[in-house]
């Protein structure tokens, strides 16, 4: 039997303390989707509706949450925004053209769009699936 000293006790304590942290980090991974999940809105682009609820923000009647899953090489056409929205890239990387200006968003980035004042199109130029989480702020 091996003697237990301060170093081995410290190592066991650190390991025990870190185990729940590793489990939490693993569970925070972005949700993945089956190839046929959600509604196809274009080649390689699917929308997965996640939920909706009445809003307590006076300017908005309802909020909706959805993920737009964009396969490598796929793109969305330029669209005029029908409502205000917040976007968050949970996976991958996207090239975004908003009101004629191009920028790249990476995992964890956020950006906004305004009703009727914003046109936007996206393209996944990477090798991995991109997931754009959208919070729609609905006035009607």
Contact 36, 2 (CB under 8 A): no
In CATH terms, the fold of domain 39-138 is Jelly Rolls (2.60.120)
pLDDT of the residue at 35: 84
Q: Supply the pTM of this predicted model.
A: 0.77
Q: Is 94 exposed, middle or buried (0-12, 13-18, 19+ CB in 10 A)?
A: buried
Contact 94, 124 (CB under 8 A): yes
Conformational region of residue 43, where left means phi above 0, alpha means psi within -120 to 50, and beta covers everything else: beta
Q: Which of 112, 109, 60, 52 is nearest to 85 (CA)?
A: 112
Mean pLDDT of all residues belonging to the chain: 86
What digits encode the pLDDT tens for the residues 22-42?
444 444 455 689 888 999 999
Token pair in block for residue 83? 């409502």
- Residues of the chain below pLDDT 50: 10, 12, 14, 19-28
């Amino acid at each position: 039997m091996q003697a237990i000293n301060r170093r081995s006790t410290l190592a066991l304590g650190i390991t025990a303390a870190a185990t729940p942290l590793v489990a939490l980090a693993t569970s925070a991974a972005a949700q993945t989707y089956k190839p046929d999940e959600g509604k196809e809105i274009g080649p390689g682009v699917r929308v997965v509706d996640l939920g909706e609820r009445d809003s307590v923000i006076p300017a908005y009647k309802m909020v909706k949450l959805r993920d737009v899953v964009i396969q490598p090489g796929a793109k969305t056409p330029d669209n005029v925004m029908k409502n205000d929205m917040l976007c968050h890239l949970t996976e991958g990387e996207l090239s975004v053209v908003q009101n004629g200006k191009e920028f790249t968003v990476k995992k964890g980035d956020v950006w906004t769009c305004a009703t009727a004042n914003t046109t936007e199109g996206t393209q996944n130029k990477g090798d991995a699936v991109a997931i754009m989480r959208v919070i729609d702020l609905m006035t009607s």
